A and B are shown apart, each in its own frame.
Chain A
Amino acid sequence: MRGAVEDPTGLAPRARLWPALGAVYRAQLSRAKVARIPLLFVATFQSVGIMILMRGVVSTGSDAARAVVSGSSVLVVAFVALNLLAQYFGQLRASGGLDHYATLPVPPASVVLGAAAAYASFTLPGTVATAAVGCVLFHLPLGGLWVLGAVVPLAGAALSGLGATLGLLAPRQELATLFGQLGMSAALLLGVLPPGHLPGPVGWARDALPSTYGVQAFARTFDVSPDWPAVLGDLSVCAAVGVVSLAVATWAYRRAAYR
Chain B
Amino acid sequence: MLVSTGTEQAAPSPAAVAREAMWTVRGLVKSYPAGRAFRRRKAAAAPAAAVRANDGIDLDIRRGEIFGLLGPNGAGKSTLVRQLTGLLRPDAGSITLLGHDLVAHPERAARLIGYLGQESTALDELTVALAAETTGRLRGLDSRTARAERDAVLEELGLTDIAQRPLKRLSGGQRRLACFAATLVGERPMLVLDEPTTGMDPVARRAVWTAVDRRRAERGTTVLLVTHNVLEAETVLDRVAVIDRGKVIACDTPAGLKTMVDGDVRLDLVWRDEPPLDLPEIAVLREGAEAAGRRWTLRLPQDRARAVVASVTAGPAFAALDDFTLATPSLEDVYLALGGSQKGLVKA
**A9 CA to B22 CA in the complex, in Å?**
12
Residues of A within 8 A of B63 (CB): 1
Which residues of chain B from 80 to 133 have a CB within 8 Å of any chain A CB? 82, 85-89, 98-101, 106-113, 115, 117-123, 125-127, 130-131, 133
Q: A8-B99, A9-B98, A103-B113 are in contact. Are A96 and B118 (CB under 8 A)?
A: yes
Q: A4-B99, A12-B140, A23-B134 are in contact. Are A97 and B119 (CB under 8 A)?
A: yes
> Contact: A9 with B99, CB < 8 Å?
yes
> Contact: B108 with A15, CB < 8 Å?
no
The total of chain A residues at the interface (CB under 8 A) is 43
Query: A20 at the A/B interface (Cβ < 8 Å)?
Result: yes
Can you name 23 A-B pairs with beta carbons within 8 Å? A1-B189, A2-B98, A4-B99, A8-B99, A11-B112, A12-B188, A19-B137, A23-B133, A23-B137, A26-B130, A27-B130, A91-B121, A95-B119, A96-B121, A100-B117, A100-B120, A100-B122, A102-B86, A102-B87, A103-B87, A104-B135, A105-B140, A258-B86
Residues of A whose CB lies within 8 Å of any CB of B are 1-5, 8-16, 19-20, 22-24, 26-27, 30-31, 34-35, 91-92, 95-106, 110, 257-259
With A27-B130, A100-B119 given, can you name 8 additional A-B contacts, CB distance below 8 Å?
A1-B189, A5-B100, A8-B99, A26-B134, A31-B126, A103-B85, A104-B139, A258-B86
How many interface contacts (CB-CB < 8 Å) are there between A and B? 133
> Contact: B100 with A8, CB < 8 Å?
yes
**A10 CA to B106 CA in the complex, in Å?**
15
Residues of A within 8 A of B274 (CB): none
**A1 CA to B107 CA in the complex, in Å?**
20
Q: Which of B120, B121, B127, B143 has the most CB of A within 10 A?
A: B121
Pick from B108, B109, B121, B134: contact of A95, CB under 8 Å: B121
Which residues of chain B from 235 to 250 have a CB within 8 Å of any chain A CB? none
Nearest CB to that of B110 among chain A residues? A105
**A22 CA to B133 CA in the complex, in Å?**
12
A-B pairs, 7 with minimum CB distance: A97-B121, A31-B125, A23-B137, A100-B122, A103-B115, A97-B122, A105-B110
**A101 CA to B100 CA in the complex, in Å?**
21
> Contact: B138 with A259, CB < 8 Å?
no
User: From residue A12, how far is it (CB to closest CB) to chain B in Å?
Assistant: 5
Nearest CB to that of B220 among chain A residues? A1
Q: A5-B99, A10-B112, A24-B138 are in contact. Are A92 and B121 (CB under 8 A)?
A: yes
**A98 CA to B101 CA in the complex, in Å?**
23
User: From residue A24, how far is it (CB to closest CB) to chain B in Å?
Assistant: 7
Residues of B within 8 A of A1 (CB): 22, 63, 98, 189
> Contact: A106 with B138, CB < 8 Å?
yes
> Contact: B140 with A13, CB < 8 Å?
yes
Pick from A11, A22, A30: contact of B108, CB under 8 Å: A11
Query: B186 at the A/B interface (Cβ < 8 Å)?
Result: yes
Nearest CB to that of A23 among chain B residues? B137
> Contact: B112 with A12, CB < 8 Å?
yes
Residues of B within 8 A of A8 (CB): 99-100, 108
User: From residue B105, how far is it (CB to closest CB) to chain A in Å?
Assistant: 8
Residues of B within 8 A of A259 (CB): 87-89
Residues of A within 8 A of B113 (CB): 103
**A103 CA to B194 CA in the complex, in Å?**
13
**A2 CA to B117 CA in the complex, in Å?**
26
Query: B278 at the A/B interface (Cβ < 8 Å)?
Result: no
**A8 CA to B109 CA in the complex, in Å?**
12
Q: Which of A11, A13, A100, A258 has the most CB of B within 10 A?
A: A100
Query: B218 at the A/B interface (Cβ < 8 Å)?
Result: no
Q: A10-B112, A23-B134, A96-B118 are in contact. Are A105 and B107 (CB under 8 A)?
A: yes
Residues of A within 8 A of B88 (CB): 258-259
User: From residue A224, how far is it (CB to closest CB) to chain B in Å?
Assistant: 46
Residues of B within 8 A of A97 (CB): 119-122
> Contact: B117 with A99, CB < 8 Å?
yes
> Contact: A35 with B125, CB < 8 Å?
yes
**A103 CA to B106 CA in the complex, in Å?**
10
**A20 CA to B142 CA in the complex, in Å?**
10
> Contact: A30 with B121, CB < 8 Å?
no
